[in-house]
Amino acid sequence: MTNVKQVRSQEVEQAAREALTSRGILIDDIAAIVFEMQYPYNDQLKLEDCVTSVDRVLEKREIQHAILVGIELDRLAERKMLSEPLQTLVETDEGLFGVDETIALGAALGYGSIAVTTYGHLDKHKIGVIKKLDTKRSEHVHTFLDDIVASIAATASSRLAHRLRDAQDRISRDEQVRRDEEDRLS
Ligand code: MG
């Protein structure tokens, strides 16, 4: 057996969560975006459901990897550690540089069409903390982070939408069982 070095999943998850926090992004910030995206479809939705959904999404490997890669590149660009011309492309968030979106969208791809369309919407309209990241002009580079946050929010939105439908179907199935039982007894 070859001795290949393996990183434990828990380590990766922890690193991804810490990376987000270190860049000033809290789960609550992302949950607020999810709430705004999903409330029009479910007026029973509570903010805490959105917090839970974001938390579950952060357990997904594709998302963790995108967080780690994106934030690392932002950090390296901040410290002027990338080589040219990549340094300038990332640092200035050059308009035609699309790898930030590609990585973020790629991470959301496995979570269905709602994740993809919500990502597109967030990329265009920049809601909540995404807007702050996009407009904040400081010593910080957030070229990748805004897209990563949009990807997490989009995936958490999709997850909620699918779970809502599952719950509705379960209720109607239970209701059908109850009616059948009533019919049987009458
Ligand atoms: Mg970007």
| SS3 annotation, the chain | CCCCCCCCHHHHHHHHHHHHHHCCCCHHHHHHHHHHHHHHHCCCCCHHHHHHHHHHHCCCHHHHHHHHHHHHHHHHHHCCCCCCCHHHHHHCCCCCCCHHHHHHHHHHHHHHHHHHHHHHHHHHHCCCHHHHHHHCCCCCCCCCHHHHHHHHHHHHHHHHHHHHHHHHHHHHHHHHHHHHHHHHHC
Predicted confidence at residue 102, as pLDDT, reads 96
Put simply, whether the predicted model's pTM sits higher than 0.95 gets the answer no
7 CA from centroid of ligand 1 (Å): 28
Give the model's pLDDT for residue 14. Answer: 97
Centroid of ligand 1 to alpha carbon of 186 (angstroms): 63
Q: State residue 2's pLDDT score.
A: 66
| Widest distance between CA atoms in the chain | 80
pLDDT of res. 45: 93
What's the confidence (pLDDT) of residue 150? 97
> Which residue stretches of the chain have pLDDT < 50?
none
Centre of ligand 1 from the C-alpha of residue 84, in Å:
19
**Predicted pLDDT of residue 172:** 85
Fold observed for domain 9-185: YutG-like (1.10.3760)
Domain boundaries, the chain: 9-185
Return the amino acid letter for 184. R
pLDDT tens digit sequence for 136-182: 667 899 999 999 999 999 999 999 999 888 888 888 888 888 888 88
How much distance in Å is there from the Cα of 113 to the middle of ligand 1? Answer: 21
The alpha carbon of 122 and the centre of ligand 1 are apart by a number of angstroms equal to 11
- How many Å lie between the centroid of ligand 1 and the Cα of residue 148? 8
